[in-house]
Structure 1
Amino acid sequence: MVVEELLICIELYNVGVIGLIKPHGLVMCEVLLLTVECVFHVCVCVCVCVCVISTGPQTIKKAQGENVTLGCTYVQSPSDTGQLDVEWSNVSPDMTQKDRLILSYSGGTVYKLGDPGLMSRLKCVGDPGQGDASIFISPLQASDTATYECKVKKPPGIDSRKVTLVVLVRPSVPKCWVDNGEEIGSTIILRCKSSEGTSPLKYNWIRESGGSLPPTATQSKLTGELLIQNHSQSYTGSYLCEVTNEVGKEQCKYSLRAYSSANKAGVIAGAVIGALLLLLLLLLLIWLLICCCQKHFSSFHPIKYQLNLLERQ
C-alpha cells in the first residue's frame, strides 16, 4: 500500500498536484529524493532537494520566425545549503562530444555564453534565482533546432529537464512552369517547385477555371508534376499549385494555352521573317550612316579646301 501511495504521489507531483485525500494513517517513505507523508488522511509529497517542476511536451515544434518559451521552474528545499547555479546547454547528439553551454546563472548574475546570433534573441523569462529559469527565444531560426537542457544545482541537490525544439521552415513561394510546350494532342507537364521549406512538402494542383482537372491528367503530390496527356483546347485555363508542410503553405498559378502544329509553324515563320526584316533595317541604317559620314569628311579635305580658295580668288 505504501508503494501504491508513493506512485500516486509522484504522479501528482509531476503534474503539479501536491495533495491527495487517502483513508490511511501515518506513513513515511523516502525514495527518489521525494518524501511521502500521509497524516490524517492527507498524502503530501515533500521534495527533499531542489526539483525542476516544469511540465509540458518533451518536443516542441515551431515555425521559423515565431517565438518559444522553454520552461524551467523549480523549487528549493531547506536541506539545500550550497550556492545556486543554473545552466542551459545544447545537448550534443554525439554522445562522445560535450554539451555546449549557452547560458549560466551564478552568484546573482546571468552569463550568456552561446553563439552571438542566438544570444541576441534569447532572454530570461523571470528571475533565475527565484525559481524561474525559463528562457524565451524570438524570432526563431532553423539553426535553433536542438535539444536543450536546463540544469539546476544547489548542493547537495541537483535536477534537470530536457526539451527538444524543432524549428520548421515554411515553404517558399513556388515557381510554376510547363514542359514539352502546349501543342494540341501532345503530352505536357505542368511543374511546381518550392526552393525552401522543411520536408515533407506536399504539392496539389487544382484548376481555377474550367472545372476539375482534365480526365487525362495525373499528378504527383511529392514532386509537384501534373502530367496531361492528349492536350486539347478544352484543357486551357488557369491552374493553381499549392505547396504545404506542417507550418505553412504557398501557391503559384499558370495560365495554360493550346495551339495546333500549324499555328506553331506559322508562329515560327513569323518570328523568322520579323527577325530578318529587323536585320535588313539595321543594315540599311548602318549604310546610311556611313554615307553621311563620308560626305561630311570629304567636304573638309585640306587639299580640296585650298583649291576651293584659289578658285574663289
Structure 2
Amino acid sequence: MSGPSCRRCCCLFWFPGLLLHTVTLLSSEFRSSAGMQVTSTGPQTLQKAKGESVTLGCSYEPSPYDTGELDIEWSVVSPDTTQKDEMLISFTGGNKYIHGNHNTLSFAAADPSQGDASLFIAALSPAYSATYQCKVKKSPGVDTRKMTLVVLVKPSVPKCWAEGGQLVGHAAALHCHSATGSAPLKYQWRREGGGAIPATATQNSLTGELKISNHSQSLAGIYVCEANNAVGAEHCRINLRANTPPNRAAVIVGTVVGSLLLIIILLVFIGLLFWKLRHRFDYEKDFSNDIREDAPPPESRPVSRHTSRSASRHPQVAYSQVGETRPDVGHRRPLSTSSGGFSPQKSTAVEYDSKYGHAV
C-alpha cells in the first residue's frame, strides 16, 4: 500500500477517539462552569406520623469556580406569594443560626460545610406540615431544592359495636369508628378464624359499617375491624352472636295473661278503696248523730264571767262610798229569788277604799 493511502487510513482510525476525548473535556468543562448543584434525590412529598422525626435531605456539590463564602438557608415557603417566606435555620461564616422559636430544628450533619445541608426535625406535629426550601449559595453558584412535608395523625384504637338484637333470620349491623386520625380514614372488616365474610354482606370502608341482611348461626363469631390511614393502623374486635328469636305465640299469651292480671289487680284495688271510703262515711254519720242526741239544752240566761266571779267572791255584799249616808236597812228591797234561791239577809255598811279599788 502506498504512503498516502496509509496515512489516510490512520487518520480515519484516530478521528473517532479524538472526537470522544474532545466531547468528554467539553462535558467536564460544562459541569465545572455550571456552579453549585444540590444533588439530593428522593420523593418531593413526605408523609410522616405525629410524634415521629424526619430528615429533609439537601446534599450539595460546589463548582471549582464557586469561590465565595458558603451560605445555607432553610425556610418555609409561604403559600401566599405576596408574603415573605419564614426563615428557620441558617449557616453562614462557619456559624449556625436558629431563627424564631424552632428549637426542634437542627442540621443533620455536625458540619454543614462538608456537602450535607440536610435538615432534621424531631417530634413532629401537624403544625410542621408545609413546603420547605433548602438554598445553598457559594458565589457565584447557587441552587435550591423544595420538599413538601405532611404530618398525619395515626388513627386511634377504634370502637366496635353491634346494632340490633343479633337475631337469627334478621338483619344485623356491625359498626367501627376511630375518634381521632387524619383523613382519609378507611375501615376494613374481616372474620377471625371463622372463614370469609359472606358475599351477601356489605361493608362501607368510609363509615365502617358492616351489614348482614340475613343473620344465621354460621355467621356468628369474632369479627375484626381495622382503621388505617397513610401513617398507621389500629383495630378492634367484637363477638357477633346468633340469638334465637323468641316464640311469638308464647309472647302473645304472656302479654294477654299479664294484661288480665293487671286488670284484676286494679279492680280489687278500686273495690277496697270504695269499701274503705264507704265505711268511713257511715262511721262519721253515726258519730255525728250520737253527738246531737247527747248535747244538753242551752241555758236560759247566760251569766257573764265577771258577774259570776264577783258573786262567788263577795256574796250578798252591798257597797257604798265612804261618808255616804246609807239608807235604812229595813227599807231595802229584797233580793230576787231567781238568783239562786237565797233569802234576803241583812248587810252591814262597808267602806270603799278608792286607792285599792275594793271594799275594806
Identify, as 1 or 2, the structure richer in strand. 1
Alignment map for 1:266-277 (pairs within 5 Å): none
Amino acid at match of 1:24: L
Q: C-alpha distance in 2, partners of 1:37/1:183?
A: 83
Matched with 1:249 is 233
Amino acid at match of 1:38: L
Matched with 1:186 is 170
Matched with 2:48 is 62
Following TM superposition, by how much is the alpha carbon of 1:91 offset from its aligned partner in structure 2, in angstroms? 1.0
Matched with 1:73 is 59
Matched with 1:222 is 206
Q: Which of 91, 97, 113 in structure 2 is aligned with 1:105?
A: 91
Determine if the alignment matches structure 1 residue 161 to structure 2 residue 148: no
Matched with 2:120 is 136
Following TM superposition, by how much is the alpha carbon of 1:230 offset from its aligned partner in structure 2, in angstroms? 2.8
Following TM superposition, by how much is the alpha carbon of 1:66 offset from its aligned partner in structure 2, in angstroms? 3.5
Determine if the alignment matches structure 1 residue 96 to structure 2 residue 92: no
CA displacement 1:268-290 (0-9 Å, x = unmatched)? x9xxxxxxxxxxxxxxxxxxxxx
Q: C-alpha distance in 2, partners of 1:86/1:199?
A: 35
5+ residue gaps, structure 2, are 1-16, 255-360
Kept in 2, the 8 Å contact 1:54–1:74? The answer is: yes
Alignment map for 1:1-313 (pairs within 5 Å): 23-24=19-20, 26=22, 37-38=25-26, 45-116=31-102, 119-214=103-198, 216-262=200-246
CA displacement 1:75-99 (0-9 Å, x = unmatched)? 3345444433211001112222221
Following TM superposition, by how much is the alpha carbon of 1:111 offset from its aligned partner in structure 2, in angstroms? 1.2
Identity level (%): 52
SS in 2 for 1:151: strand
Q: C-alpha distance in 1, partners of 2:247/2:81?
A: 67
Kept in 1, the 8 Å contact 2:32–2:65? The answer is: no
Q: How many residues of Structure 1 are paired with residues of Structure 2 in the alignment?
A: 235
TM-score by length of 1: 0.64
Q: C-alpha distance in 2, partners of 1:85/1:44?
A: 23
Q: C-alpha distance in 1, partners of 2:232/2:192?
A: 21
Kept in 2, the 8 Å contact 1:101–1:113? The answer is: yes
Q: C-alpha distance in 2, partners of 1:263/1:156?
A: 91
TM-score by length of 2: 0.57
SS in 2 for 1:24: helix
5+ residue gaps, structure 1, are 1-20, 28-35, 270-313
Amino acid at match of 1:67: S
Q: CA RMSD in A?
A: 3.1
Determine which structure has more spread, i.e. the larger CA radius of gyration: 2
Cα separation, partners in 2 of 1:60 and 1:47, compared to 1, 3 Å? farther
